[in-house]
Structure 1
Amino acid sequence: MRQITRFRKVLALLVFALTASSAAAQVPSCTTNDPDVACTVQGAVRGVVEGDMLAFKGIPYARPPVGPLRWKPAEAAESWPGERDGSRFGAICPQIIAQ
């Protein structure tokens, strides 16, 4: 009976430690009181008001798949210094249309 209780305590401690460490890894890298600025893991992004909502455009979700990253699983986007402009979408991916 004592072993089961000890096992439960160790298991609970392990679950708590894993949950706390994963939450700490995703803490935004900035702080702001400006409602037009969102803090992400990579840095601050300034949005744009569109009608009755705030839009954040052109936020990279992964590193560009070029060179050795080609045909590999996506890697997290790199952080940026300062505030990123989120008022415009990024460049589109060019595609060749076969005739």
Structure 2
Amino acid sequence: MFFGLTACFWKNSDCPVETEPAPGLVLTQQGAAQGYEDGTTWSFLGVPYAQPPEDELRWHEPQPAECYPDATGVYDAINFENECVQFTTEWENGQMVE
């Protein structure tokens, strides 16, 4: 049943992926995502489910994510993306500076 549902989603996709199904590789409308097995659970980290709410997309309904940009069409879902830089100007050593 899983592969049948995956095939339905796959056929409706405009994102080309030239890869064979493999353990930890799932097919989505945006392309394939490679996860990893952690004991008895498969993990897929940082997979985008929508476009970032930037510019004209801000304060509107989420829009579907775009195709995965990797040349292979496979999204690396083994690690999270880089975190945003956090600047702190009011805190120093865990205490507020006045």
TM-score, normalized by the shorter chain, greater than 0.5: yes
Where structure 1 has 5 or more consecutive residues not aligned to the other structure, the ranges are 1-22
Instruction: Give the corresponding residue for 2:65.
Output: 77
Measure the CA separation in 1 of the matches of 2:84 and 2:62. Answer: 16
Question: 3-state SS of the aligned residue for 2:37?
Answer: strand
What residue identity is the alignment partner of 1:68?
A: E
Q: Is the 8 A contact 1:37 1:44 kept in 2?
A: yes
Q: Is the 8 A contact 1:32 1:39 kept in 2?
A: no
Offset at residue 94 of structure 1 (A): 6.7
Instruction: Give the corresponding residue for 2:80.
Output: 89
Offset at residue 79 of structure 1 (A): 1.0
CA RMSD of aligned residues (A): 2.7
Question: Which has the larger Rg?
Answer: 1
Match of residue 46, structure 1, among 34, 56, 59: 34
Query: Kindly tell me: are residues 78 and 91 of structure 1, through their superposed partners in 2, closer, same or farther at Cα, counting changes over 3 Å?
Result: same
Sequence identity of aligned pairs in percent? 35
Alignment of 1:22-41 (within 5 A): 27-28=9-10, 29=13, 30=17, 32-41=20-29
Measure the CA separation in 2 of the matches of 1:85 and 1:63. Answer: 17
Query: Which runs of structure 1 show a deviation greater than 4 angstroms over 4 or more consecutive aligned residues?
Result: 91-99
Q: For this pair of structures, how many residues does the alignment match?
A: 75
- Flag the structure with higher helix content: 1
TM normalised by structure 1 equals 0.60
